[in-house]
């Protein structure tokens, strides 16, 4: 049985792990700005994140205390009780069924009354990212629209698919899958 946890990056090794993950070709292909970053870029950006914890939170995802991914909660809106999510797994941990555990912890973090206590979460995913879509639909996310031709990759325009899930649906899904 694996142990899963979230951790704030603190050491230089943590930040190197995050830069390495960000610069992974598959991660870059799936984000709006596909340019690689340097450790200095990342550290400047991280100062901004730390100063704005009320509107965005980002943690490393650990499997048995080993860094395995990065989870992102942004545009946290406590007035309207929603936020936007994103997450990536390091290539060494992909294809082993860990994504659903990472995402279940993220949804727990969003909907738990002791944590963010939100009503709705959403995300966008590239239309070509069939593996990520499988993860999201399996968890109960629902498509609510598309940002048509909003990603330009290798001279081709792709849609981003907009997905959401409400707390009530997540609780029902959790009961069904318990």
Ligand X SMILES: CC(C)(COP(=O)(O)OP(=O)(O)OC[C@H]1O[C@@H](n2cnc3c(N)ncnc32)[C@H](O)[C@@H]1OP(=O)(O)O)[C@@H](O)C(=O)NCCC(=O)NCCS
Using CB under 6 A as the binding criterion, the count of chain residues that bind ligand X stands at 20
Q: Decide: is 63 part of the binding site for ligand X (CB under 6 A).
A: no
Q: Between 99-111 and 130-139, two packed helices, what is the crossing angle to 10 degrees?
A: 50
Q: Decide: is 150 part of the binding site for ligand X (CB under 6 A).
A: no
Contacts of 79 (CB under 8 A, 6+ apart): none
Q: Which is nearer to ligand X, 79 or 176 (CB)?
A: 176
CB of residue 94 to ligand X, shortest distance in Å: 4
Contact 163, 124 (CB under 8 A): yes
Q: Decide: is 25 part of the binding site for ligand X (CB under 6 A).
A: no
Q: Between 12-22 and 39-51, two packed helices, what is the crossing angle to 10 degrees?
A: 110
Strands 156-166 and 57-63: unpaired
**Pick from 5, 138, 172, 177: which binds ligand X (CB under 6 A)?**
138
Site map for ligand X, 102-131, x if CB under 6 A? -----------------------x---xxx
CA distance 102 to 96: 12
For ligand X, the binding residues (CB under 6 A) are 26-27, 30, 87-89, 94-99, 125, 129-132, 134-135, 138
């Amino acid at each position: 049985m694996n142990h899963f946890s979230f951790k704030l990056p603190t050491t230089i090794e943590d930040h190197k792990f995050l830069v390495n993950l960000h610069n992974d070709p598959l991660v870059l292909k799936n984000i709006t700005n596909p340019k690689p970053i340097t450790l200095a870029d990342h550290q400047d950006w991280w100062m901004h994140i730390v100063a704005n914890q009320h509107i965005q939170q980002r943690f490393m995802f650990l499997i048995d205390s080993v860094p395995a991914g990065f989870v992102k909660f942004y545009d946290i809106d406590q007035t309207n009780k929603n936020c936007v999510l994103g997450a990536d797994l390091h290539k060494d941990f992909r294809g082993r069924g860990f994504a659903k555990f990472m995402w279940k912890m993220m949804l727990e973090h969003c909907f738990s009354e002791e944590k963010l206590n939100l009503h709705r979460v959403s995300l966008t995913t590239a239309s070509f990212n069939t593996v990520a879509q499988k993860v999201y639909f399996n968890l109960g996310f629902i498509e609510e629209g598309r940002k048509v031709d909003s990603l330009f990759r290798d001279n081709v325009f792709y849609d981003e698919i907009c997905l959401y899930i409400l707390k009530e649906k997540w609780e029902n899904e959790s009961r069904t899958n318990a």
